[in-house]
Copies of this chain bind each other. A is one copy, B any other.
Amino acid sequence: MKSATGKIGIWIIGARGGLATTLIAGTHMLARKLVDTSGLITCSAEFSKLKLPQFGRFVFGGHDVRHTPLWESALAIQATTHSFPGESLKAIRSKLKSSDANIRPGMTLNCGPAIQALREPTATLHGKPDGVLRQLRKDLQEFRKQHRLERVFVVNAASTEPPLPRAPFRKSGEGLLQAIKANDKRLRACELYGAAAALECDGIINFTPNEGMLSPAVCGLAEARGVVFMGHDGKTGETLVKSALAPMFRYRNLKILSWLGYNILGDRDGQVLADPLHRASKIRNKDGILQRILGYAPTSIVRIDYVPSLEDNKTAWDFVHFEGFLGHRMSLQFTWAGTDSILAAPLVLDMVRMASLACDRGERGRMEHLSVFFKAPLGVGEDDLHVQFHRLTDYVRSAAAQD
């Protein structure tokens, strides 16, 4: 195994959003030891023997369809959720400015009405798919070159798109490249981002429910080049708790009759999810998990409502109605109050570190040991959080032993 020791690029789709801003600012704070490592899985005791990249080695860039500088984005976050402790934000102001300089115009091709409403025309790439793809690739090449990056990982942290319809061209890398060449009207932004990433970078993390980023076609391209990847849809809050609690009912043979989940949130994320077209992608992932864990399908309702005053402080109420001995009915309810970007950002950093390790170890393709991070883990039929976590720690132990 030959570990990389140089700089590592993290290229974020949605680089000016709340998650990206928290990730960029937070990584710089970690590098300067302004904060401790709470929330980072890869900083747990179990991971201490692995050679994972230090925080100071990361360089950030990305695509976005808005112009708001990261500093302004960070101030807005600070004013609402107070995510950055004390004077830490001021201390890394210049770092945000440097990252700003690496952000390039993105696009919203067929991303759905709620996302298109957010874009600023001058921050958006125009033209035909093949030209756009060329530009995206060029952006990635320049990022790598300019910063002499040993590796580049692409992270999709964009807003949630409507579900992706099936189409033959989405099944193979070849098909996708031909569709792009033919300027197929059905192409989505995430597919172009995915293709560019597969052709230019070392690893791909799809933190969104947008399957196009890692469609079978994109996965095909990635596998062909030996790129590592994993997705879809980061498991950060209500679904995390669901996947931790549902097994308990199964263990005790307590039959779940109904599991209702009501999610309320503000922010840009909430705004996009307020549109039923967009919401559908997220609800599918939040909803399917139960049946896969339990082996049967209780009444399951998941709702997401847009409540501007909550900003990024996502709140969820879940009510679980279940049947025990003699058919007796009982209930469990919980309220989760979490700040979304704060929950999501460290997971992205964890996964980039693990992807870098996978590259060091010469792995290629799907990183199934990262299933614990996702609501709909690619190619993994296991949603039980505990099984997923032990799969990760098994990998870690084995990697540490081989080292």
Residues of A at the B interface (CB closer than 8 Å) are 22, 26, 29, 35-41, 43-45, 79, 81-86, 88, 240-241, 244-245, 247-248, 250-255, 257-258, 260, 262, 264, 295, 299, 301, 303, 305, 307-310, 315, 317, 319, 321, 323-339, 342-343, 345-346, 372, 385-386, 389
Chain A at the B interface: SS class: mixed
A339 to B386, CA, bound (A): 27
Chain B residues whose CB sits within 8 angstroms of the CB of A303 once the complex forms: 262, 303, 305
Known: A88-B326, A251-B389; 5 extra A-B contacts, CB below 8 A, are: A39-B323, A39-B326, A44-B250, A325-B346, A335-B335
The answer to whether A310 and B258 have CB atoms under 8 Å apart is: yes
Chain B residues whose CB sits within 8 angstroms of the CB of A324 once the complex forms: 38-39, 338-339, 342-343, 346
Among A26, A36, A326, A342: residue with most chain B CB under 10 A: A326
Q: Which residue on B lies nearest to A385, using beta carbons? A: B248
**Distance of A291 from chain B, by nearest CB (Å):** 15
Q: Which residue on B lies nearest to A332, using beta carbons? A: B336
15 intermolecular pairs with C-beta atoms under 8 Å apart: A26-B325, A26-B326, A38-B326, A39-B324, A258-B307, A260-B264, A264-B319, A299-B307, A301-B305, A303-B303, A324-B338, A330-B342, A332-B336, A332-B338, A333-B335
Known contacts A41-B252, A327-B35, A247 near B386 by CB under 8 Å: yes
The answer to whether A252 and B319 have CB atoms under 8 Å apart is: no
The answer to whether A323 and B38 have CB atoms under 8 Å apart is: yes
**Distance of A394 from chain B, by nearest CB (Å):** 13
Chain B residues whose CB sits within 8 angstroms of the CB of A326 once the complex forms: 22, 26, 29, 35, 38-39, 83-85, 88, 342
The answer to whether A252 and B39 have CB atoms under 8 Å apart is: yes
Q: Which residue on B lies nearest to A329, using beta carbons? A: B309
A385 to B345, CA, bound (A): 28
A231 to B102, CA, bound (A): 61
**Distance of A19 from chain B, by nearest CB (Å):** 11
A385 to B308, CA, bound (A): 28
